[in-house]
Amino acid sequence: MILWHGSSKIIKSPKYGLGNPHNDYGLGFYCTESEEMAREWACADKENGFANCYDLDTAGLRICDLGKEPYDILNWMAVLVDNRLPGNTSSMGKAGAEFLIEKHLPDLTGFDVIIGKRADDSYFTFARAFLNNTISVRQLSEAMELGDLGEQVVIKSKKAFERLKFVRYEETHWRRYFYDRINRDKKARSDYRTLAGVADIDGVFIRDLMRDR
């Protein structure tokens, strides 16, 4: 796999064991297959950055893709809230998060790489709305496709880090990519308001799932 990582620095040798354990998929080195996305990440604070490019040799690695069977949107949500509960979540939402962790959290032990949706700011709005019982499972699934925010590829194990080889970097100027990220997020939120504005009368909500446990 050819992967990209956006940063304010040139990172030739990513270090195993560093990073924020409360990111979407826990501790790891977060990459994307999209150079454009990496450039946006590199310029998150109106400063120039770098899109670092790597070659990951996947032979023999255990890869979990949360966007493919046997996983579903509830598995993804469970992983997200287990690592990073959205802020301003109601008591209903906190109970929903506990339910998802109990019933739908997949065992990711032993995987070298995890692939899953990005939980950008707008995505947290969607996740919180689902936990607070205001959108259905179907609406959540559709919302997660809005804005074309892409997927993350997270390097988790020491073995995977050893297979990650630095290729090059591309200097990235913030004036273009900073606003690309903002506009992408705005579009996702706008499309979500349209989606959430239509009542899903026959939909399954988090409260329904909890009642049927």
| Residue 38: band (very low, low, confident or very high) from pLDDT cuts 50, 70, 90 | very high
Quote the pTM value: 0.88
Q: What is the pLDDT of residues 173-183, one digit of tens each?
A: 988 887 888 88
Q: What is the pLDDT of residues 80-106, one digit of tens each?
A: 999 887 666 788 889 999 999 999 999
Q: Is the pLDDT of residue 119 over 70?
A: no
Report which of residues 165 and 200 the model is more confident about.
165
Q: Is the pLDDT of residue 135 over 70?
A: yes
Whether the CB-CB separation of 131 and 123 falls below 8 Å is answered with no
Q: Is the pLDDT of residue 118 over 90?
A: no
DSSP state of 86: P
Boundaries of domain holding 104: 2-211
Q: Is the pLDDT of residue 129 over 80?
A: yes
Q: Is the pLDDT of residue 127 over 90?
A: no
Q: How many domains does the chain have?
A: 1
Residue percentage of the chain with pLDDT more than 90: 57
Report which of residues 61 and 123 the model is more confident about.
61
Q: Is the pLDDT of residue 40 over 70?
A: yes
Q: Is the pLDDT of residue 59 over 90?
A: yes
| Residue 20: band (very low, low, confident or very high) from pLDDT cuts 50, 70, 90 | confident
CA dihedral 27, 32, 37, 38 (to 10 degrees): 70
Whether the CB-CB separation of 33 and 63 falls below 8 Å is answered with no
Looking at the DSSP bridge assignments, the partners of residue 32 are 4
Q: Is the pLDDT of residue 7 over 90?
A: yes
